[in-house]
Chains A and B, each alone.
Chain A
Amino acid sequence: MSAVAVEVRPPLWRRLIGFNALTAVVFGIGGYYLGWFIGHHINGASVAYLGVGGIDQNDLSVFLGYFLGVAGFLIGMGFGVYPWARLRGYPPSLREKEQQGVGRYFGLCTDHKVVGIQYLCGIGLFFFIGGLNAMLIRVELLSPARQVFPAGQYLTLVGMHGTMMMGIMSSAILGPFANYFVPLMIGARRMAFPRIESLTFWLLMAGGAILTTTIFFGGFPTGWTGYQPLNDQANTGMDSYIVFFALVGISMCLLGLNMIATIVTMRAPGLTWSRLPIFCWGVLSTAVLQLLAAPVLIAVLGMAMLDRTAQTTFFIPSGGGSPYLYQNLFWVFGHPEVYILALPGFAIVLELLPVFARKPLWGYRLAVAGMLGVTLLSWLVWQHHLFMSGINSNLRPFYMLSTELISIPTGFTFLCGLMTLWRGQIRFTVPMLFCLAWFFNFLIGGLSGVFLSDVPSDVTTHGSFFSMAHFHYTIMGGLVFTFFAAIYYWIPKMTGFQLNERLGKIHFWVMFIAFNSTFAPLFAAGFLGQARRDVTYPAHLQFINDWVSISAFVLGASMLVFLYNFVHSLLFARIKAPVNPWSSLSIEWQLPSPVPVHNFDQIPVFTSDPYGYGEPSRPSALPAASPAGGSS
C-alpha cells in the first residue's frame, strides 16, 4: 500500500490571516489613523480633532493619513514580503501565489491573467461609481431651480464623476486586456515585471477608495482638472483628489514601463515588429504616453500638495506663484491623457475588424504610423485648452494648427478600419457592433473637436456643454464602446464561458441609442449657452436637459443589462465557450480556455502576422503561430 499525498485545505479563518485584501484594508485603516495623529501632532489639533464638529481642516494630517494608509495597504497586501526576503538572502523569484484558488484574486499575484481579471473587476467597480455620479448629476439638472443636493455638492458630483472616469479609465484597456493578452500575443509566459504589474492594480484600487472618501472632507469644487487657485482654496476634500490622481499617475507610469519592457524585450522568436499584432502597437503607443506624461501629473500634484501643506507658493499669485503654471503643467499631462484613453480604442477596433470582416487588416503600416503619429503629436497640442485663459495670442495659431494636424494620423487609423471593412464578409456579432459604433461616435467626436481647436469658434464653445458633448463622444464613444467590444470578444477566453449574444445585442442597441440621445442634444445646449459645472441653466433649456436626463437614465439602465448578462452567463448559465468561437487567427485563441498558468508548454515561433484571413496562400483555418502543446 503506497502513501498518497493529500493536500489539506486549511480552514477559512486560517486562510484569512496572512497577506491579502482583508489584511491590507485593516493595515490601511491603521496606517491612515497613524498618519492622521502624526499630522495633528505636527500642525496642532483642528476643530474636528477636538470633536467639536465639522470636518477636519488639517491638510497635513489628511495627507499623512492617506500616505501611511496606502503604505499600510500595500504592506498588508504583501508587497513588502519579497524585498524583505531578498534582504535576508533568499533567492530571486518571479512567481508569487500563482497556483492558489479564488484567494489569488484578492491579493498580490504575479500571474498576468489574474491581474487582468482583477483589473476588469476593479475598473468595473469604479466605472459603476463614476456612472452613478453621472446619474446623480442628471437628476440635479432635471430642473434649473430646484436643488436636489446641498449647496456646493453638485460641483463635487461633477468632479467625482470626471476624476473617477478619467483616472480609473486610463487603464481600462491596458489594465484588463493588455495585461492579460499582450504576453500571450507576443508568446511570453509573463510580464517583464510581474510584481510591479500587480502593484499598478492595487495602487489604482487604493486611489479609487481614497477619492470616494472626499465626501467626508467636504468634496472638491474644481472638476477633474483641479485648477488653481480653487485647488488651493478648497476644503480638505481636495486632498483626496490630489492623492487619488497622484496614485493613478504612479500606477499609469509603472504600467506603461512594464508594457514597454515586455513588448520590446520579450517577444517570441519570429515576432518581428512588422508581425506584431496591431493591438500590441496600440498598447505600446499608449504605454509611451503613460510613461512620459504621468510624471508631469505627479509633479504638479506634488507642488499643489506643498502649497496646501508647507506654505509654498508655486501657484499662489500673492506669493509670486502662478495659477497659469498649474494649467500648463496639468495639460502637458492632460492632453496626452486624452490619447491614453483614445489610442487603446483604436487598437481594439483595428484588432477586431479583421476577425469579423474576414479580411486582412488594410494598411497595417499606415495604422501603426497613425498611432505613433498621434503619440508624437499629442505632446504639441496642450495649449488649445488655454486659448481662453489669456495666453500669448501669438501662440494660438501654432496650437490651432498642431491640433488640426493630429486629425491626419487619427484619420490614418480611421481609414485603415474603413478599408478593412470594405468588401469584407462582415459578421455582426456583439463585439463587431461595438466596433462599428466606434466609427460613428468617434466621427462625431472628431468633427465637433474642430470647433474647439479653431480659436474663433472656441471663443463661444469653450466651457460650455458643447465641449462636454464633444469629449463624451470621443472618450465614451471611443473608449467605453471599445471597452465593451473587448469584454464581449475576450471574455470567452478569459473565463471559458460565453456571454449571452441576445442580451449583448440588447445591451448594445440600448446603449448606442441612449448614448446618442444623451450627448447629441448637449451640442445644442452648449451652443445655446449652457455652461459646464453650473448647477443651474436658463429656464428655456429645461426641455433639452430633461430629454438628456431621461436618455442618460436609459443609458445607465443599459449597463444593468450588461451586468445581468455578465453575472447570469458566468455564474448560472455557464455555457462552455468553444476554444476559438470567432475563428480568429491570433495566437491567444489557439490556447485552451481559460489559458493555463504557464501559458505555453514551449515558446512559440511566429512565421506571420495574425491577419491572413482569406489569403489563398494561407488558409484562415491555420493559426498564425503554433504554441507547442497548447492547442486543444
Chain B
Amino acid sequence: MSRTGAKILGVATGVAVAGILIGFYIAGYLVGNTPAFRPTVQGSSASPTVHLTIETVAAVGPTLAPHPDWVSYLVRNNSGRWERSTVFTLPAHATIRVTIYNFDGASGLRNPLFGRPTGLVGPELVDGKPLVVMPPDQPSHTFAVPALGVLVPLAPVADNAKNTCGYAPCLLSMAHRTMTFVFRTGKKGHYRWQCFVPCAAGFMYGFGGPMQTIGYMDGFLNVV
C-alpha cells in the first residue's frame, strides 16, 4: 500500500472510531429516556376524551437508574404497564379523566390554599368521596397545572398502614389512596405541571432533585 493510501486508511479508521465513540457517548445520555406519553383518545374529534391513569410512588426503585431513591409520578401506558414519563401529549379542548393512585405518605403543604381542589370539572373524589378541602398537614403531593388553573391535592397513605409500597412499580393490592377528577385542556400549547408539596426527601427544605426534574415530580402537558 502506498504511503498516501496508508494515511487515508488511517484517517478513515480514525474517523470511524471517533464516530463510534461519539455514538456511544451520546447513547450514554439517551439511555433510559422515556418519550412523551400519548394516551388513546376517545370520543369525537369535536369533544375528545382521554383517560389518564397515574401513580405516585415514594421511590422509583433500583431498576430505574440513576435516581432509584427519588419520589416520582408514573403513568400507565396504553399496554397497561407503568412507565416513568411526565410529558403527556393531549388533544386541545379535550376532557381529561384522571385517576391517580397514591402510594406515598403525608408531607404537608407550605401554603394551606393548595389543599383546596380548583380548576376541575366537578369535584375531586378521594376514595370515591368528594373533597372540599384537605387539611394542610395531610397532602402527600399535588397535581397542579398553573396555566390551566388546575390544582389537585393527593391524600396520603396512613403512617400505620400495612403492606405499604417501598418503591415502584406498586401494585393495587398494596396500601394506596385513589383520586379521580376531570379537567379540560383548553387551547394548544405547552402547559407545565408539577407537584407543589416539598416532597424531595433528603433535599434542603424538600425542594430540588425530583421536584425540579422533568420525569419525576415535574412535567408538561403538550396540548396539540
Contact = CB atoms under 8 A, between A and B. Distances in A.
B66 A219 contact: yes
Interface in A107-155: 129, 132, 136, 144-153
Interface string A308-350: 0000000001000000000000000000000000000000000
Contacts of A129: 25
Contact of B66 (A144, A145, A217, A535): A217
Given A132-B22, A235-B66, A572 B32 contact: no
Contacts of B22: 132
Contacts of A230: 208
A536 interface: yes
A627 interface: no
Contact of A151 (B63, B189, B215): B215
Contact of A536 (B28, B65, B214): B214
B171 to A, nearest CB: 20
Given A54-B63, A55-B65, A539-B189, A149 B29 contact: yes
A237 interface: yes
Contacts of B38: none
A217 B28 CA distance: 11
Interface in A550-571: 567, 571
B28 A218 contact: no
B125 interface: no
A283 to B, nearest CB: 32
B56 to A, nearest CB: 16
A151 B216 CA distance: 7
A233 B190 contact: no
Contact of B29 (A144, A157, A536): A157
Given A145-B87, A215-B29, A53 B63 contact: yes
Contacts of B29: 136, 149-150, 153, 156-157, 215
A151 B64 CA distance: 11
A572 B87 CA distance: 51
A463 interface: no
B86 to A, nearest CB: 8
Contacts of A146: 36, 87, 222
B28 A215 contact: yes
B215 A218 contact: no
Contacts of B222: 145-146
Interface in B152-211: 189-190, 192, 202-204, 208-209
A552 to B, nearest CB: 16
B40 interface: no
Most interface-central of A136, A147, A149, A156 (chain B CB within 10 A): A147
A229 interface: yes
A218 B214 contact: no
B17 to A, nearest CB: 12
A52 interface: yes
B11 A52 contact: no
Contact of A218 (B65, B87, B213): B65
A150 B62 contact: no
A47 interface: yes
B190 A539 contact: yes
A212 B25 CA distance: 9
Interface in B12-48: 22, 25-26, 28-34, 36
Contacts of A157: 29
Contact of A55 (B33, B66, B190, B214): B66
B68 A54 contact: yes
Interface string A368-396: 00000000000000000000000000000
B2 to A, nearest CB: 12
B7 interface: yes
A118 B214 CA distance: 41
Nearest to B72: A151
Interface string A52-92: 11110000000000000000000000000000000000000
Contacts of B129: none
B33 A535 contact: no
Most interface-central of A52, A217, A221, A317 (chain B CB within 10 A): A221
Interface in A227-285: 229-230, 233, 235, 237
Nearest to B35: A147
B220 interface: yes
B62 A52 contact: yes
A150 B190 contact: no
Contacts of A156: 29
Nearest to A54: B62
Contact of B11 (A145, A147, A221, A567): A567
A594 B63 CA distance: 56
B4 interface: yes
Given A145-B222, A156-B29, A229-B204, A54 B65 contact: yes
Interface string A565-584: 00100011000000000000
B31 A150 contact: yes
B110 interface: no
Contacts of B51: none
A571 B11 CA distance: 9
Interface string A197-238: 000000000000000100111110100000001100101010
A54 B31 CA distance: 12
B66 A237 contact: yes
Contacts of A572: 4, 7
B99 to A, nearest CB: 23
A466 B62 CA distance: 39
A229 B86 CA distance: 26
Contacts of B32: 150
A157 B33 CA distance: 14
A145 to B, nearest CB: 4
A152 B215 contact: yes
Contacts of B213: 151-152
Contacts of B209: 221, 233
Contacts of B68: 47, 54
Given A146-B36, A230-B208, A539-B190, A136 B26 contact: yes
Nearest to B202: A233
A229 B67 CA distance: 17
Contacts of B26: 132, 136
A553 to B, nearest CB: 15
B221 to A, nearest CB: 9
B75 to A, nearest CB: 13
Given A147-B87, A147-B214, A149-B33, A571 B66 contact: no
Contacts of A151: 34, 84, 86, 213-216
B117 to A, nearest CB: 25
Interface of B: 4, 7, 11, 22, 25-26, 28-34, 36, 62-68, 84, 86-87, 189-190, 192, 202-204, 208-209, 213-216, 220, 222
22 contacts: A47-B62, A54-B63, A54-B64, A55-B66, A132-B25, A132-B26, A136-B26, A147-B36, A147-B214, A151-B215, A152-B216, A153-B33, A156-B29, A157-B29, A218-B65, A230-B208, A233-B202, A233-B209, A237-B66, A317-B204, A536-B192, A539-B189
Q: Which 8 A-B pairs have the closest CB atoms?
A: A151-B215, A218-B66, A145-B190, A54-B62, A150-B33, A215-B28, A145-B220, A150-B32
